[in-house]
Amino acid sequence: MSPYDPSAFPPFAVTVDLVVLTVRRHALCALVVRRGEQPFQGRWALPGGFVRADEDLAGAAARELSEETGLCAHDPAVPGVDNGAHLEQLATYGDPKRDPRMRVVSVAHLVLAPDLPAPRAGGDANGARWAPVDELLAAGDQATAGLAFDHARILGDGVERARSKIEYSSLATAFCPPEFTVGELRRVYEAVWGVALDPRNFHRKVTGTPGFLVPAGGTTTRQGGRPAQLFRAGGATLLNPPMLRPEV
Amino acid sequence: MSPYDPSAFPPFAVTVDLVVLTVRRHALCALVVRRGEQPFQGRWALPGGFVRADEDLAGAAARELSEETGLCAHDPAVPGVDNGAHLEQLATYGDPKRDPRMRVVSVAHLVLAPDLPAPRAGGDANGARWAPVDELLAAGDQATAGLAFDHARILGDGVERARSKIEYSSLATAFCPPEFTVGELRRVYEAVWGVALDPRNFHRKVTGTPGFLVPAGGTTTRQGGRPAQLFRAGGATLLNPPMLRPEV
DNA sequence: GATCATAGTCGTCTGCCTGACGATAAACAG
DNA sequence: CTGTTTATCGTCAGGCAGACGACTATGATC
């Protein structure tokens, strides 16, 4: 075979799928939409859609994200904007049989977003909701009840990426509003990792890691108890030393 | 737009590109092939080719790898075979202008291989060689001399992935022959990271990390000096504690 | 208003890991 | 036999992490 021969290559459909994660009520949740068409009609699926002919992959992901949630993707290359969500490429899935209709290669993206009021249904979906990832992945074991296509696997990969990435990067702040307390950040780690962390050691650790948090000046009592200092995400993206996920 | 509408989607060409890394003569090297066609005719590029109509992405990468090098990819899902190389998906590149002829989405894969006798030229390439990544990436700065397409960026991403991944996984052993010494493994780390490591601390660290190395029984003196114990890669894939890349 | 529950913040202590480095061992080259 | 190279074992001090005690500041409840 002669690679890059423009006259003879099998045509593919290329889509982007989104694993949009957030933390609500102490649980890691993912955005899912109900499919309005065959196949898998009525089943939940990850949001996504075709990449347009003149569109970048990241651009397509950002467009789909905005269409489904109204979120504005925060491009790490353009700093300063943090009202949006973190978006990064996750992995690409191209099994020949993953879509029964045609050959589809899907470039999955991972989005980490602060808790949002309510998902708004995108054009093609009958509904959209935040579902705890535990539910979605547990349901995936039963053959018929799980997510459409190979989306359970994609979701699993996205969750695993998020779990490991908040260890050595400051991405956990992407789950928080612009100003947040140490306790709120700790609850993010606890929800994503599914463990309980010592508040005192956690406080020492995050406030001692240079560039992770900068004081925002105020305090809040929205979590009850003693007022807590408000922080903003610092400039550091890589944490040194990293946060360590407790052993099993 | 109605996602997954089979009747209307822009057709894409999907390729796999390979970042094949090895360590030769204390330097991290990548496999590059000389392009025999336009565009970028005569320039060096990463090996790769079209994904076939009935082929998995990983399968396409393994096929290209075998065609270009004769290496047998070691699928992590099928343990027991370690005569081959480690292969994993790296990232996907889909800028609309990355190929001047048509819309090509390339799923790049990363291969870590032990030092090989000599690359064998693949069908479409006039030549193939191992080039130190420092050279390739430095040349990428000068506009015309670098790798074809966006391959300098892909190579950079692959190198960065390899550098970070040998920190917390046992993947450095993928650069070694089946049986190797602690010193040989240390030279892998030194070449990939581009730093000098203390042989005594390194020895203590790797032999003390459970599951990283298992004694193979013999000794060798192929590196000169006192005979060194031979080891084989242990079952562990994640290192705990991780190897730490020295600070800058 | 006293008491309690909740959450936040500051310290202390101990064990482990790391980096720096000395010392010894076992091969080969001259 | 001496120097060179590489491997391997030990020692020591500093730093970080986990366990946990103590204190503070708010709202809720009686």
Determine what percent of chain A is predicted with pLDDT higher than 90. Answer: 71
Interface membership of B248 toward A (CB under 8 Å): no
Asked if B94 and A3 come within 8 Å (Cβ–Cβ), the reply is: no
Q: In chain A, which residues have their Cβ closer than 8 Å to the Cβ of B108?
A: none
Residue in chain B nearest A91 by alpha carbon:
B91
Asked if B4 and A123 come within 8 Å (Cβ–Cβ), the reply is: no
- Whether residue B82 is predicted with pLDDT greater than 60 in this model: the reply is no
d(CA B229, CA A200): 45
Q: What is the pLDDT confidence band of residue B141, given thresholds at 50, 70 and 90?
A: low
How many interchain CB pairs under 8 A, A with B?
116
Residues 6 or more apart in contact with residue B8 via CB below 8 angstroms: none
Asked if A91 and B89 come within 8 Å (Cβ–Cβ), the reply is: yes
Residues 6 or more apart in contact with residue B111 via CB below 8 angstroms: B18, B19, B20, B21, B61, B65, B71, B73, B85, B86, B87
d(CA B109, CA B61): 7
Q: Helix, strand, or coil here: B21? A: strand
d(CA B120, CA B48): 14
Q: Which helix (H) or strand (E) holds A153?
A: helix A151-168
d(CA B52, CA B14): 9
User: Which residues in chain A (24-53) have CB-CB distances under 8 A to chain B?
Assistant: 37, 48-53
Interface membership of A82 toward B (CB under 8 Å): no
d(CA B17, CA B40): 16
Residues 6 or more apart in contact with residue A138 via CB below 8 angstroms: none
Closest by CA to B48, choosing from B63, B30, B29, B70, is B63
Q: Is B121 left (phi over 0), alpha (psi -120 to 50) or beta?
A: beta
**pLDDT per position as a tens digit, B35-52:** 888 889 999 999 999 999
Distance B86 CA to D1 C1' (A): 48
State the helix-helix crossing angle for B151-168 and B182-193, rounded to 10 degrees.
140
Distance A205 CA to D16 C1' (A): 10
Identity of the residue in B6, B55, B107 whose CB atom sits nearest the CB atom of A96 = B55
At residue B65, φ and ψ (nearest 5 deg) are: -60, -45
Residue A196 is classified by DSSP as: -
Say if CB B114 and CB B21 are below 8 A apart: no
Asked if A105 and B48 come within 8 Å (Cβ–Cβ), the reply is: no
Distance B198 CA to C23 C1' (A): 16
Q: What's the gap in Å between the CA of B213 and the closest CA on chain A?
A: 21
Interface membership of A13 toward B (CB under 8 Å): yes
**pLDDT per position as a tens digit, A152-181:** 999 999 999 999 999 999 999 999 999 999
pTM for the model stands at 0.91
Nucleotides on chain D within 7 angstroms of protein Cβ: 4-11, 16-22, 24-27
Q: Among A27-31, A136-140, A206-210, A215-219, where is mean pLDDT lowest?
A: A136-140
Asked if B37 and A4 come within 8 Å (Cβ–Cβ), the reply is: yes
**pLDDT per position as a tens digit, B153-172:** 999 999 999 999 999 999 99
Interface membership of A54 toward B (CB under 8 Å): yes
d(CA A178, CA A19): 21
Identity of the residue in A2, A57, A107 whose CB atom sits nearest the CB atom of B124 = A2
Q: What integer pLDDT is reported at residue A247 of this predicted model? A: 77
Mean pLDDT in residue range B201-211 = 96
Residue B34 CB neighbour total at 10 angstroms: 18
Q: Find and give the residue nearest to C11, measured CA to C1'.
A: A200
